[in-house]
Every structure is written in C-alpha cells, then in structure tokens.
Amino acid sequence: MPTVAAPAIAGLPAFARSALLLDIDGTLLDFALTPEAVVVPPALLVALRRLKLALGGALGVISGRPVEDVDRLLGDVFHAVAGEHGGAIRHAPAAPIERPALPAAPATWVQAAEQAASGHPGARVETKARGFVLHYRGAPDAGAAFGALLRRLVAGSAGFEVLDGNMAWEVRPRGADKGTAVVALMAQAPFGGRLPVFIGDDVTDHDAIRAARAMGGAGLLVADVFGDPAEVRAWLNQIAEQDGW
C-alpha cells in the first residue's frame, strides 16, 4: 500500500453491524488510459480479504464494469458483485448472475458511436450486455462532441439515458442503477441485517450513496472524504489491520 495517511471518518455505523460496498475505478483503483490497463496492487487484495473475514463476508462491489470483468481484476475477493451499474448482480461467488428485464441498446447506436470513435485516435467503444461506453480519455478534445452525439441518439427514447462519467459517456437502459444494487445486495445474506457503507467517486455512484444513507448507513464520495484512490486504499489497509474503524 502507498504510504498515505488514512483519514478519520465520522458518522460510520458500528463496524460489527456494517456491510462494506465499494466501487472500483476511481475508488479502489487509479484510472488508466483504458479500462483494461488498470493496475491492482497486491496489497489491496490482501486488505480486502482480511476485511471480508472481519465483516462476516459482507463485502461487495458495485461497479459499472461487467461482472466478468470484476472477476478478471479481483478474483474471488468480494462475496457479491453488482456490475453494469446494477444491471447484473451475483449475490454469492457460485450464484448465477441475475439481470432485470431491461432492453438492449440498438445496434445502430453502437455503430454510430464506433464510427465517431474511429475518427479520433485514442477513443474507443466498450460494449456491455445492454449498453455501451464511449471512452475519450485518449482523445480528450472529442468529449463534448461525443456527448452531443449520444444525447441525439437517445433523444425521445424513454428507456435509455446518457451518463457523463470520468472521461467517458455511457448509454444504459433505465430501470437499474447503483442505488437499486445497494438495496438488492442488502436484502440477502450475509448483508441482511447490517448497515451499508458505500464508497464511490463518480456521478453514477450518487444513487448508491443516497441509497446507503437512506438505509441508515453511510455513503462516501472519494473526492469529499479521501481525495483519491491511494487514500481509499490506505484507509482500507488501516481498518483491515485493526479489524474495524
């Protein structure tokens, strides 16, 4: 872990009654030029495994990434995984992935996004089961034009929305978000009966922050409480070493 002073955080529920729910990109991991290029520090995995044991298994991840991508990055560290902003949930390591009945983005939209990305070296389209992301971290000057394009594509479609992420625009179906994922995870063991503590960094995480607070837990935004993922990792390492906050 980096040598970073871990912040003291007030207002958290008692550790023994808590469930810890974490975003990945911009929260646990530093952003990279592409989603595939992120680096997972080995010490982070050690801290998370220790925290899962201390929390009686109540450690979950809520990410915009597909569940399969979370597995590739973090293996079996988390008991439960909510991917695609709540559009895909696996409640336990051996459980099936559950998906609410939501529409898939039209192929013509994906094709239009891919055509736009092809004109800007460094931009790329990431497809998901029912939506897609237009990344422009490698082509920052294209961000405004990409956002305008996607908003035009979904205009008049009540079933989809465009999200302004961190150097990325995402088209996703309405009906599931990170807030609904918090509620779904907290309804099942080993999370049931506990209070959620969610940490996220981006606009899509605000739904989860509100849901966690509404359930009597805590919702923490990285920029407000920690500053950056290095400080999040330092805090997780600290509470893992002392088995609680």
Angstrom distance (rounded) from CA 80 to CA 190: 9
Q: Which of 23, 25, 202, 207 is catalytic?
A: 23
Q: Which of 40, 103, 31 is nearest to 75 (CA)?
A: 40
Angstrom distance (rounded) from CA 218 to CA 198: 6
CB atoms closer than 10 angstroms to residue 72: 12
Residue type, 110: V
Radius of gyration of the chain (CA): 18
Q: Is 23 a catalytic residue?
A: yes
Exposed e or buried b per residue across 203-230, where buried means at least 16 C-beta atoms within 10 angstroms of its C-beta: ebbebbbebbbebebbbbbbeebbebbe
Catalytic residue numbers? Answer: 23
